[in-house]
Amino acid sequence: MSELARVAFRFRFLALLRASLVAGALYDLAFATLMVAAPRELAEAFSLPLPGAPFYLHLLAVLLTMLAALYLLAARDPRRYSGVVAVAVAGRLAGAVVFALAAAGGSALGGLWFVAAADAAFGFSHAAFWWPLR
C-alpha cells in the first residue's frame, strides 16, 4: 500500500469516527432534552414507566449531556481523546447489553429494544472506525 493510499485510508476512518461520535452526541442530547421537556411523551413513545419524581430524569439528562460533551471533544480530536473513544465503545456496548436484558426481562420495558439496538450500532461503529486508527 502506498503512503498516499495509507493516509487516505486513515483519513476516511477518522472522518467516519468523527461522524459516529457526533451522531452519538446528538442522540444523547436529544434524549436528554426530551427527558426534561417531554418526559411523558418520551415514556409513551418507548412504552416505559415514568419514575415517581422528575428529579431522576433530570439527573440522567444532565449525565447524558455531559456524555454528549465528551463525545464532541473526542470527535474534534480523536487521537488526543482516544481514551474517551475507548470508553464510548465499551460504554455503548455495555449499555446495549443492559438495555437488551431489561427489555427481554419484562414486557413493561419492551421499548428498550430500540435503545439497545441504537447503543449497539453506535458501539460497533465507534469500534469499527477507531480500531484501524489506534
Residue-by-residue pLDDT tens, the chain, 134 positions: 788 888 888 899 999 999 999 999 999 999 999 999 999 999 999 888 888 888 999 999 999 999 999 999 999 999 999 999 999 999 999 999 999 999 998 778 888 999 999 999 999 999 999 999 88
Cα–Cα distance measured from residue 51 to residue 85, given in angstroms and rounded to the nearest whole number: 31
- DSSP tag of 134: -
Tally Cβ neighbours within 10 Å of residue 131.
Answer: 11
**pTM confidence score:** 0.89
What cell numbers appear for 65 in the block? Answer: 449531556
Per-residue pLDDT at 115: 95
Q: Do 22 and 72 contact (CB within 8 A), yes or no?
A: yes
pLDDT of residue 17: 97
The whole-number pLDDT of residue 8 equals: 85
pLDDT value of position 4: 83
C-alpha cell read off for 87? 470508553
Domain that includes residue 53, residue range: 3-133
CB 92, CB 130: distance < 8 Å: no
SS3 7: helix
Contact between 42 and 106 under an 8 Å Cβ cutoff? The reply is: no
* Residue of 59, 87, 69, 58 whose CA lies nearest to 26: 69
Number of domains observed in the structure of the chain: 1
